[in-house]
Each structure stands twice: as structure tokens, then as C-alpha cells.
Structure 1
Amino acid sequence: MTGPDHPRLLPSTLIEEHTADPGSPRRVRRTVRDWLVDLGLFLLAGVIALVVATDPSPAPSPWVVRADLLAGVLGCAALWLRRRWPVGVALALTPLAVFSDLVGGAVLITQFTVVVHRPFRVAAPVCGLGLATVPLYGLVRADPDLPFPLLALLGVVLTVTVLGWGMFVRARRQLVLSLRERARRAESEARLRAEQAQRRAREQIAREMHDVLAHRLSLLSVHAGALEYHPDASPEDVSRAAGVIRHSAHQALQDLRDVIGVLRAPVGEDADPGGQPAGPDGERPQPALSHLADLVAESRRAGTAVTLDDRLEDPEAVPATVGRTAYRIVQEGLTNVRKHAPGGEVTVTVEGDPGRGLTVEVRNPLPAAGCAPSDIPGAGQGLLGLTERATLVGGRLEHGRTSRGDFRLHAWLPWPA
């Protein structure tokens, strides 16, 4: 019931839209059930009129009999309009009950329709008007066999019955419509949550692909560039560089296969497509801070002078999420050095304690004047991604040139006691 062309309706509005004006955009066409209900009520009003017509009580005058018959016919016929104009039909038929017995059934049905499809503030005056016709009926069509107190009691009982039954039906319909609306809203919210989870998963996969592949491909580009600019290299150097290129390309393909495997592998699968055992949630194995020495060694083999100052007593004690974030920060820092300051010496410092937090710092001298940076392409999103990673775990990241003439990448990550 919601959408750009159909505003969200309250349950009472949904009930009342069946009785809207002909020109209203919310008018609902009658269903087969509506036609059957209208036909049944029409026949019920006709049966009540026939039963009343068999009453042998004499009429006050012939014109009252003719008016009673005409009012009964008009009342039964007007029931077909009660869905479109419930209040108008009820107000038109109620005065006829002053002198007509045959219209009594139709009046009660129209009052019930008003109670079901209109709020109490509208239904109560309509039913009150019907109750006010009882004394007038006693004056116009006095019956010696029916004392006025009994007539008044009968009118009150019928009016209260119609009002109470109609309010019960209206409340039940509102409850059903409210439950349906709540179910539709729950489905919509579930669909929205699924879309948000899918978007977060895609963003996470994109970060993983950037962090992993940028590192691998930068190593490959460095060694390929060395072969290009040193054609006179010895066969041993060429063979060693070719081996690193082959190994880096193989690792890049393996990492790419692992990341794509996250999309394909169901939760709880024992192994990813690369043959490595999966984590507890079915995801591919994630790097930890204890793997930092391997990362540094790999960069050294690629020709980057890296000094690792690891001041942690037990890297395994660092929480997995924090350790993985620290690993990615160092990885991206080394990748940026190969891109923007090739040949520079890098210092990686890792220190911290539980309760004080984990500090990660990557420093490298700025490239000398006239030294062109590497032509390794980049998207310029690496540092933004690192800032987002640090923020997600409750930390912070800073980067930029320092007064000492070098570039500093500094991060603080929380390490609970």
C-alpha cells in the first residue's frame, strides 16, 4: 500500500477507501464478495419488510400505508448505494422511519455500514438520529399493543446492538489491516537490510582486492621495470627477477581466486577454492600481525630496504581484527613506497600494550628532487580505505609529510586490556 503514487494509509483510511466518492483516486471497485454481500443485505431488508407487512395492525390512514410501501421500496433500493455514500444514504432513510415500518431493516443496515466504515465521531450522531425517531414514530403510528416504554426500549436495544456490532467489525478489520501493513513493512525492512548487507559485503571485498592485489602487482611491476631498464643485467639477475615475477603473478592470481571464493563459498565450507582451510565463518584465511615479518621479507626480496622494529612481546595476543587492520596498514604503506618513492628506505615500527593500544608507523624519505615516481598505476583510494579500516575498529590514522623531510603513516588502534 505504499509507493510514490500511493501514500501510506492508516487502517481506518484503508477501511474508508471502499466508500470514497466516485471521483476519488482511492475508490476501490467492488469485488465478487462485495456483490454477494450487497445482494444478501438487499434480500435481508426485503424479507424484513415482508415480515412487517404481514402485521395485521391497522394503519392510521391510507396515505401512511402508501408512503410506508414507497419508503420500503426506496430503502431497499438505496442499499446498493450505501458503499459509496454511507452517511448520506443513512441520513436520507432515517427520517422515513418516522412513519414507515417497511424501511426499518434498511435503516439498520445503513447505520451498521456507517459504523463500520466511518469513525465513531461520525457514526454516533447518525445512530443518535435514528434513536431520536423512536418518539416521533410512537406519535405518528401509535400502537395500543406496544406501550411507549417498550417501544423506546426496543429502539435503544436495536441501536446499541448495531453500534456495538459495527464497532467490533471495524476494530477487527483495522487489526487485520494493521497486521498486513506491519507484515509488508517487515518484508520491506528485511529486503532493505539484505541490500545493505550485500553492499557492505561488496565494499569489504573491494577493499580486500585493493589491499591484496595492489601489493602483489606492485612487486611484479617493480621487477618487470628492473628488467626493462637494465637489459644488460646478468643471466643470474634476469633469472632471479623472472622468478620473482612468476611468484608474484602466481600469488596475485591465488589471492584473487581466494577473494572471489568468498562470493561463491557457502558459509561453513571447509576449504576455499585455493585449497586453504577456511575460517570459522567460511571465509578465506585472513592475515594476522604475526605474518608481518613475512610481508617485510617479501618486500626486501623485491628490492625495498625495510627495517622492521617490532616491539611487541607477543603478536598473537593482539585481537584478530586489530592485528589484521595493522597488517593491512603496513602492507599499503609498503605498496605506496614502491609507487611513489622507489628505492627509499622504509622503517616500520609496531608497539603497544593491552589497555594502551597498538601503534603502527611507516616512515620513508620523500623522493629526491628530479627522481620520478614509479609508473605503477593507482586508484588513489588506498589511504582512504586505510582510514576507513582504522575508524571501523575504533582507531585513527594520520598521514602526511613531516618536518624531517619524510612521509609518515601513523595509526593508533584500540587494544583492550
Structure 2
Amino acid sequence: MRPEDYQPALTWWSHTWRLLLMLAISVLAFAGHGENHLPHAMWFIGADLVVGVACYVATWWRRSHPVLVCTFTNLAAMISMSSAGAGALAMVSLSTRRRWREIVPQIALSIVCGAVGDEFLTGSSSDPRLQRYAFLVAITAILVAWGMYIGSRRELLATWRSRAMLAEQEQQAKVAQARSVERARIAREMHDVLAHRISTVSMYAGALAYRRDLTPDQVHDSAETIEANSRLALTELREVLGVLREGPGDADPEQPQAGGDDVDDLVAQSTAAGMRVTYTRTADLTTVAATTVRTLYRCLQEGLTNARKHAPASAVTVRIEPGRADGIDLLVANPLPIGDRSPSLPPSGLGLIGLAERVELSGGRHSTTRTDDGMFILHVWLPART
């Protein structure tokens, strides 16, 4: 990863505290050795401040031209004490890139220029030279270490953000796939419903051949025409809807779709399989649209599947009741399992995504709730007429 990829954008506060810190360093450096300028002309102090201001301005380009800015501030340290703050920021900023081929030459240049400036600006100091040079090397090492730590932390955060974005994209892809699969499943059900009804029409059309109020030839010709057209409609419908599906053989019709009695049978099958289900149905499904009953069946099937998968030993409560606004309410509730789920189970969540897509297309609403007392509740409302 390039340093440019993980350098964060600086806000106004980031610029402000950096400027304040630079000013503090410059003031300390200038105040500690400013008395050495007094024996010289006042223009020397003015020149020191001018060079320091130039270094401050140069730090604005420390990210686009880090080596050039750091070199300039190091050279300025030979004649200007007020440039110390800008030089420290330039060295730290260069070190965040963590490129030794850039850092090592600047370390050497910083030490040499610092030593020259120390002799030139503080030559009359009573402190031993070895002590001053050791202090200079220690300060340079601290600035480089600080910059490398900041660069390492920035790269780590950038890597985490990149992984989070990748995981989010993968999740979005899974959601899109789940929706596509659910739409294909709905398309198959549309095909199966029409196939079942048209097959009935075809059967009754074949019975017209036995009507006695028409001549035998007319009855026979009419019946053959209706039956042929019905079969052709089935074939064409299967071919058109087969384009919407991906797998070979997906256009083959399934068994007739679920009705009101199949909802009761689904609960009975789950009970026979060992689930503890408390089932209550007060809604009359015979007066509900067939598409709503099929959606209700699939939602109940998903709710029981989730309960069997995640809480196999728990009691499940299922209620199907008349809902508001002439609708049907489905409630599936089960206690949450204690402890972690078995690691052998496949990842979950896509079934609920498909359920949400199906309910939305039916004009209904759904919600999933985890209560404080450890219950998982699936609530679905479907319009009785669609």
C-alpha cells in the first residue's frame, strides 16, 4: 500500500493543533538561544524570523513534496532557530511514509545541519559539545520514531477500512443473490399456478368432445383446437419464464402450490419431525387470496426452519390470526438458544432476506425482534386480497 493511500485528510482542527505545536517548539528554541543574537545586529533576528516563516509556509506542501520540504527545513536550521517547529513537523511527516531510502539521508542531514547551527548560533554556550550533540541525535530519533509509529497506525487503520468495505461489498453481493434467487422462486410459483389452472382448462376442453348439442365433428374440432392452444400456452409460458432462471430444468413445473390445508399440514409435519409447536389458527384462509396463502405458507416455512436450525430443543409458538386492515397476521416465536450456535451450521440470514423480498412484493410488512427475555419473534402481516 502506498503512503498516499492511507494519509488521512486534515481538518481545520488538525491544522490548528499542528500549528500551535510548531509555534511552541519554535518559541522554546528561540527563547533558549535568542540571547546569542543580541550581540549581533537586529537584522539577524529579523532574518531568523523570515527564514522561520518561510519554513512554516513550506510545510503546507510536506505531503506532496516531503523530501524537498524536509531538506529545506534542515538547511534552514543552520541559520534559524525559529524554524525548529517547522523542521520537526517536516521530519515527522516524512517518517510517516516509512521509506528508509528517504529517511536515512534526512537523518544525516538533520544531524549535520543541527550541529552546524548549534556552533553558529550557540557557540558561546557553556554546555559541553558532546552533551548538545547527544541531545540533537536523541531529538531526531524521537521525531523519526514518532512519525513511523503514526504511519504504521494509519496504514493499519486503512487496512481495516479496506477489509470492512470488502466485507460489506461481499454482504451486498450475497443479499443481491438472495433476492435474485427468491425472485426466481416466485417466478417458478407463478408458472406452476398457471400451469395447474391451464391444465384444468385443458381437461375440461377435452370434455367438450362429448357434448351432445353440437354435431360430433364440430365438438371434436373445437375440443381439439382448445386443447392444442392450451398445451401451446403451457409450452410458451414455460419457455418465457425459463429465461428468467439460471439452472437447467428450472422451467419444469413443480407440484401444485400450497393452500390453506397445507399450512396446517406444514405445522403437523414439523411436529411429527420432533419439534414442540404450539399452533393456533383463528383466521379463515378459505376467504384469503391464493397468492397470500402461498406467501403465508413460505413465511411460516422459513420461521419453522429458523427455529429448527437455531433452537432445535426450544418450544415454538405459531399463531395465525386476522390482522388489521383486512389482513392476516403470522407470529412465530421461540426462545433464543443458550450459548453459541454449533459451528457446523452454515451461515444464516439469507432466508430472512428472501422472506422480506417476498413479503414486500406481496404488499405486506414483516419484522424480527429479539426481546429482553430471550425470545426471537417473527411477525408478518399480509393483505388478505392481492
What is the TM-score normalised by the length of structure 2?
A: 0.51
CA distance in structure 1 between the partners assigned to 2:81 and 2:119 by the alignment: 14
Q: Which moved more, 1:54-63 or 1:70-79?
A: 54-63
What does residue 124 of structure 1 align with? 104
| 2:25 is the alignment partner of 1:15 | no
| Cα shift at 1:161 | 0.1
CA distance in structure 2 between the partners assigned to 1:78 and 1:48 by the alignment: 21
What does residue 210 of structure 1 align with? 191
CA distance in structure 2 between the partners assigned to 1:144 and 1:54 by the alignment: 12
5 Å matches for 1:291-330? none
5 Å matches for 1:181-200? 181-200=162-181
5 Å matches for 1:165-184? 165-184=146-165
For the residue of structure 1 that corresponds to 2:77, the secondary structure is: helix
Which letter does structure 2 place at the counterpart of 1:148?
R
Match of 1:261 among 296, 317, 327: 296
CA distance in structure 1 between the partners assigned to 2:213 and 2:112 by the alignment: 113
CA distance in structure 2 between the partners assigned to 1:253 and 1:267 by the alignment: 16
CA distance in structure 1 between the partners assigned to 2:22 and 2:176 by the alignment: 51
For the Cα contact (< 8 Å) 1:115–1:167, is it kept in 2? yes
For the residue of structure 1 that corresponds to 2:159, the secondary structure is: helix
Aligned length: 241
| Cα shift at 1:167 | 1.0
CA distance in structure 1 between the partners assigned to 2:28 and 2:169 by the alignment: 49
What does residue 96 of structure 1 align with? 76
Q: Which moved more, 1:201-210 or 1:61-70?
A: 61-70
For the residue of structure 2 that corresponds to 1:101, the secondary structure is: coil
For the residue of structure 2 that corresponds to 1:98, the secondary structure is: coil
Shift in CA distance, 114/230, structure 1 to aligned 2, threshold 3 Å: same
CA distance in structure 1 between the partners assigned to 2:132 and 2:149 by the alignment: 26
Shift in CA distance, 106/220, structure 1 to aligned 2, threshold 3 Å: same
For the residue of structure 1 that corresponds to 2:303, the secondary structure is: coil
Shift in CA distance, 15/219, structure 1 to aligned 2, threshold 3 Å: closer
What does residue 156 of structure 1 align with? 137
Which letter does structure 2 place at the counterpart of 1:15?
Y
| 2:27 is the alignment partner of 1:47 | yes
For the Cα contact (< 8 Å) 1:217–1:252, is it kept in 2? no
Unaligned runs of 5+ in 1: 1-9, 19-27, 235-250, 283-417
Match of 1:68 among 45, 48, 55: 48
Which letter does structure 1 place at the counterpart of 2:159?
S
For the Cα contact (< 8 Å) 2:189–2:257, is it kept in 1? no
- Note the aligned Cα RMSD (angstroms): 4.0
Shift in CA distance, 59/224, structure 1 to aligned 2, threshold 3 Å: farther
Shift in CA distance, 219/203, structure 1 to aligned 2, threshold 3 Å: same
For the Cα contact (< 8 Å) 2:95–2:151, is it kept in 1? yes
For the Cα contact (< 8 Å) 2:55–2:83, is it kept in 1? yes
CA distance in structure 2 between the partners assigned to 1:252 and 1:69 by the alignment: 87
Shift in CA distance, 126/232, structure 1 to aligned 2, threshold 3 Å: farther
Shift in CA distance, 218/129, structure 1 to aligned 2, threshold 3 Å: same
CA distance in structure 2 between the partners assigned to 1:68 and 1:220 by the alignment: 100
Match of 1:222 among 177, 202, 224: 202
Shift in CA distance, 253/148, structure 1 to aligned 2, threshold 3 Å: closer
For the Cα contact (< 8 Å) 2:318–2:333, is it kept in 1? no
For the residue of structure 2 that corresponds to 1:267, the secondary structure is: helix
CA distance in structure 1 between the partners assigned to 2:39 and 2:86 by the alignment: 20
For the residue of structure 1 that corresponds to 2:96, the secondary structure is: helix
Shift in CA distance, 281/222, structure 1 to aligned 2, threshold 3 Å: farther
Larger relative contact order (Cα-Cα within 8 Å, sequence gap ≥ 6): 2
Shift in CA distance, 231/107, structure 1 to aligned 2, threshold 3 Å: same
CA distance in structure 1 between the partners assigned to 2:76 and 2:208 by the alignment: 105
Shift in CA distance, 81/52, structure 1 to aligned 2, threshold 3 Å: farther
For the Cα contact (< 8 Å) 1:212–1:252, is it kept in 2? yes
Match of 1:36 among 16, 29, 43: 16
Which letter does structure 1 place at the counterpart of 2:142?
T
For the Cα contact (< 8 Å) 2:92–2:143, is it kept in 1? yes
CA distance in structure 2 between the partners assigned to 1:83 and 1:150 by the alignment: 33
For the Cα contact (< 8 Å) 1:86–1:114, is it kept in 2? yes
| Cα shift at 1:92 | 1.3
